[in-house]
Structure 1
Amino acid sequence: MRYEILKAIPELNNQIYPTNAPEEATKPYLVYSRISTKKIKTLEGYTDKQGLSFMFSIMATKYGDMVNLRDKVEKMLLSLPQNKIGSDNSIFVEDLSINNIDEIWERQLNVNRGIIDFTIYY
């Protein structure tokens, strides 16, 4: 999905980090973490399909910049169902659910955080 984010939102300038951003990261940036994994099971047993829940945190100094980037990330996510993703188009996204969208001020980091919690099924 990193490929799709960078293609759709060049303003992030390759500033995408798993779990935590380094202290020297320049804003804006995106931090992602997997929240849960659901293996899909049928009456015949487990399939090769799964649902992965992620939390994206879009960090920006200015509130307006965070909202703009968060909206672009949301739009990109909503375009994924029924499409192949990845630099080699090897993953077919069956569906995607936006579970929650939120925003907070991170006082210690001095940044606005836009949060998108979603589940992708493939």
Structure 2
Amino acid sequence: MRAISSLLQPALAASNIWARLSLRAARLPLLNIAVSSLRSAWLSSTRQYLAFIYTYAHMFRRPPAEADMQRHFQVSPPSVHQMIVTLERNGLISRQPGIARSIQILMPPEDLPILDWLGINQSEPL
């Protein structure tokens, strides 16, 4: 039982931080961007996944597993995998086949808005 709880702690810690960040995001002024709601929702979920991957990797010194993302976003395993494949296809992340936790963000860190909220020093390597 103890081994299981120690495995879940990184994901739970990341979820707690994400919940606090969501509250901060709700207080930010809305941007006046004229895009369709579908595109806006896709961009939002894309940014959430990228932010989660970056934050998790920064906190735990290793990228998250798909199971960590599944628990955090409370979605099915195929949904997480499809998002990872989409992010990779769009050139936002890379991963190595057959190697667990090999996700790397290819997007410049300064383009991730989450970093301003966390106060993470972007010049500091992971």
TM-score by length of 1: 0.28
- Greater helix share, 1 or 2? 2
- Greater strand share, 1 or 2? 1
